[in-house]
């Protein structure tokens, strides 16, 4: 390996380490909860179809955050769903609406995805940005059952 390759590798590893330290610090505050390395590399995670993932209305955000203060998810009644997600949403037999914790990188054009592995869920916000300023939020997701474990993750690329 040439000296320039070693220097490039060292720089890359330094950036990865600093990012991991930063995300580890973030995980201590807010709602972030990252999967372990072995859980992340488990190939049985599948994405929940986008038509089952719904953003909450801006007017209902503070109520959603209040409802999720003590626990990471909450099953919603049909009346609550209509308040949190005012736009019509497709429904499927056997699915139940749940309000889930999430975090987003403010001021970015990021996107949410929800992954499932059995009854474990990951709510992930991915963004392309030069800065990271995370804020608590919530999503409504139609699921077959309540999650046994909920991970809240963020991913930022520069």
Q: Give the tens place of pLDDT for each residue, 79-135.
A: 999 999 878 777 788 899 999 999 999 878 899 999 999 999 999 999 988 888 899
Question: Given pLDDT bands bounded at 50, 70 and 90, which one contains residue 4?
Answer: low
Give phi and psi for 44, each to the nearest 5: -90, 5
Q: Which two tokens stand for residue 115?
A: 């992954």
Residue 46 has which token pair? 């599948």
Q: Which two tokens stand for residue 52?
A: 């089952």
* Chain position carrying tokens 């997600």: 85
Q: Give the predicted TM-score (pTM) of the model.
A: 0.79
Domain extents in the chain: 1-30, 33-157
Q: What is the pLDDT of residues 7-46, one digit of tens each?
A: 454 444 434 433 444 454 444 458 999 999 998 888 799 9
């Amino acid at each position: 390996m040439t000296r320039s390759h070693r220097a490039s590798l060292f720089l890359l590893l330094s950036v990865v380490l600093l990012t991991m330290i930063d995300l580890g610090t973030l995980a201590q505050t807010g709602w972030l909860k990252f999967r372990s390395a072995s859980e992340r590399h488990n190939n049985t995670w599948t994405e929940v179809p986008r038509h089952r993932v719904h953003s909450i209305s801006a007017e209902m955000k503070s109520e959603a955050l209040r409802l999720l203060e003590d626990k990471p998810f909450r099953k919603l009644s049909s009346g609550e769903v209509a308040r949190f997600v005012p736009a019509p949403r497709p429904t499927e037999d056997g699915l139940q609406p749940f309000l889930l914790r999430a975090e987003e990188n403010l001021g970015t054009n990021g996107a949410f995805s929800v992954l499932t592995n059995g009854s474990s869920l990951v709510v992930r916000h991915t963004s392309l940005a030069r800065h990271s300023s995370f804020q608590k939020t919530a999503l409504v997701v139609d699921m077959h059952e309540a999650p046994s474990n909920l991970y809240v993750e963020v991913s930022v690329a520069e």
